[in-house]
Chain A
Amino acid sequence: MDVVVCLRRVPFTQEVDLEIDKGQRQILAENLAFVLNDWDNYALEEAISLKERTKGTVTAITVGTEEDEEVLRRALAMGADTAIRIDSEGLTLDPRNIARLLARVIRGLRFHLILTGAQSDDLNEGCVGAMLAEELGLPHASVVNKIELGEDVLEIKVELEGGIEEISTIKLPCLLTIQTGINEPRYVSVMGIRKAAKKELKVVTIEELSLDKEALVPDVYVERLFYPPETGGAEILEGDPHIVAEKILRILRERGVIS
C-alpha cells in the first residue's frame, strides 16, 4: 500500500508561558522549540507500519519553510521513502489554502491512502484533513484510532462521545485523520538519520503548482490575539484540611454535583 502522510511542524507549548507579539496577531515564536505535531507523529507511525506490513511506500509532505524540513527529515529517518516540501514562500495560509496546495501535489502521486493528524497542536482547527479529502474527491473519516486492512477497503474505528466505539468500512483510496494513541510511535534511530540523508527531499514552489500567490489569500485570518480578562468568581478555601474538605463537600452538594 502506498501511503501519503501530511505533516506539520508546530511550536512545543507544554509548560511554556506563551507571549503575544506586539502586532497582536501572533504568538512570539522566538523562544519556542519546534517539534512534529503530535497527531502527525501517530499518523506517520501508522503510515510506516502499514508500509512495512504491505510492502508499499510512504511519501511525507509538508507545506512550510526550509526550517520545517526538519519534520520531513524525521519522517525519512523513521522510514518514509520520499519527502516533499511545498514552499510556503512567507505566506500566511489558512486550512483551505493548505489543503489546496497539498491536493495539487498529491494528485500527481501514486497512492492508496492519505493520512493526516486529526488536528494540529498550535491552532487546533482540525480542518486540513477533511478539506483535502474534498479537494481530491475522496471518502474520508476523522479521528480514527484503529485501522485494519481489508480487500480494497479499510476497517476503521472511531471513538464517539460517551465512550461509544464505532467501526466503519471505508473504500480505498481514502483519507483518514488520525487520533493520538492509535499506536506507539517509534524513536528516531541514528541509523535512520544516516539513511535519511541519502533519500530524496523535493522542494516544490507555488509557481510550479500553477497557482497564483495572489489567489492564496486566506478566507479566515486572525484579527487580534489577547489574554482573556481576569474575572472574579473563584472562591479560595483556606484553613484546616478537615474544614476545607467539609466546605468542598457542601458546595458540591449545593450545586447538585453529588447528592
Chain B
Amino acid sequence: MDFDLSREQMDIKKAAREFAEKEFPKIARECEEKEEVPRDLLKKGAELGFVGVFIPEAYGGAGLGFLEHALILEEFWRMDPGLGQQFCSLTFGSEELILFGTEEQKEKYLPRLTSGDALMGFAITEPDAGSDAASASTRAELIGESWVLNGNKVMIGNGSLADFILIFCLTDPDNPAKSHRHSVILVETNTPGYEADKILGKMGIRAADTANIFLSDVKVPKENLIGERGKGFYQLMAFFDRSRAYVSAHGVGLAQGALDLAIKHVKSRVQFGQKLAAFQVTQFKIAEMATKVELARTLTYRVCSMLDRGQVDSKLVAMAKWNAGRTAVEVVDEALQLHGGYGYMNDHDIERFYRAAKVLEIYEGTKEVEKIVIARRILGRF
C-alpha cells in the first residue's frame, strides 16, 4: 500500500500553498468583514489552474483528479476558510455535467469555469427540504420545448454571483417512488424570473457568497436537463459521493491552519515564567490535535484517491466527511483555547477559523446524515 503523494501532486500542493500564503493574508480579514467576494483573486487563481483541476482537459481543465482538487482546497482552507470555500464553490456541481451532461453541455459550460470567466452553483436545499432532499418541491414543468421552473431555494453557494446554477427540482411528482420524481436542470441566472437575495450575517466563511433563490416562471430550453429525467435523486447521490470527498479536505485544511496558529502562539506566549509550549498539558494538546489532523488527512486522501481510480464507496466517503468536519471543530476549539482571551478577538486569525468550522458539520450532509449513510451501509435496512 502506497501512502505517498506523487511528485506532481506534491508540487501542486506546494504551488497552491505558495499562492495562498502570498495572496490570502492581504485580503482575508477584509473580505470576511465586508462579506465580499474577491473576483480578481478568483480570476488569478483560475489563470494559475487552481480551479476545477478535476475537469477533463478537453473541457479546459487539467484532467487531474479529486485528490489534486482536494490538495489545492486543503492548502487554501489552511490559509483562509472563507476564500477556500469561495474557490471550491466556483465549480461546485460541475460533477453533474461531467458525469451526466451531454457533449454540447460540457463544451458550452465547463471551459468558462476553469478560465475563471464564469461561476456556477448547485441549488438543492429548500425551506422544507434540507437533509430530506427528496422532499424538494421546486417544480419544473415541461411546456412545449421549455422547462418552466417555480419555487424557492435557500442557502445556495454563489446564488447571487453565479452565471448558471443547477436546480434540483420536481419534474415527476406523480411517480410512486419518491426517488424517481426529481431532475437536475441548468438555469442561466440572467433568465427572467430568477431572483437571488444574498445572505448577510453568516457565522463564518463570509468571503464566500451564499444566497436565497426565488424562481418564478423561469423558462429554459428543454435541452437544459442534465442527465435523465426522473433520475435527479440518483445523480445527486453520485454528486455527494464525490463532493463530500473533497469537502473533507476543507476540514483537514482548516484544522491544519488552526494547529499552525496554535503552535505559533504557544511557542511565543509566556506565562508563569515559561512558554506555554513548555507545559506538558500544552504538549499533549498539540500532540492530540496533530494526530487528529493526520488521521483526517489520511482518510480524505484515501477516498479521493479511490474515486480517481474509479472506486466509489459512499460509506467511506461519508466517514471521511464526518470525521474531517468533527476534526476541524475539535481542533479549532482547542487551538482557540490555547490563545486564551486573544483568540476571542478578531485581530487574531483563529477567531475567524473558529467561526468557519461549524459549517463543515452542516453542509454537504449534516454529521447525522453522514452517520445515517454509514450505518445503512453497515446494517442494511430493516
Contacts and interface: CB of A to CB of B under 8 A. Distances in A.
Interface of A: 15, 17, 70, 73-74, 77, 187-194, 196-197
Contacts of B19: 187
Given A73-B11, A74-B11, A77-B11, A190 B62 contact: yes
Contacts of B8: 193-194, 197
B15 A193 contact: yes
A189 B114 CA distance: 13
Given A73-B7, A74-B11, A197-B8, A190 B49 contact: yes
B267 A189 contact: no
Contacts of B62: 190-191, 194
B322 interface: no
Interface of B: 7-8, 11-12, 14-15, 18-19, 22, 47-50, 53, 62, 64, 68, 264, 267
B7 A190 contact: no
| Chain A contact residues, majority secondary structure | helix
A64 to B, nearest CB: 16
Given A188-B48, A190-B15, 12 more contacts: A73-B11, A187-B15, A187-B48, A188-B14, A189-B49, A190-B12, A190-B53, A190-B62, A191-B49, A192-B49, A193-B15, A197-B8
Contacts of B53: 190
Nearest to A193: B11
A70 to B, nearest CB: 8
Contacts of A197: 8
20 contacts: A70-B11, A73-B7, A74-B11, A77-B11, A187-B22, A188-B11, A188-B14, A188-B18, A189-B15, A189-B47, A189-B49, A190-B15, A190-B48, A190-B53, A190-B62, A190-B68, A191-B49, A191-B62, A194-B8, A197-B8
Given A190-B50, A193-B12, A17 B18 contact: no
A73 B48 CA distance: 16
A73 B9 CA distance: 12
Nearest to B72: A190
A187 B18 contact: yes
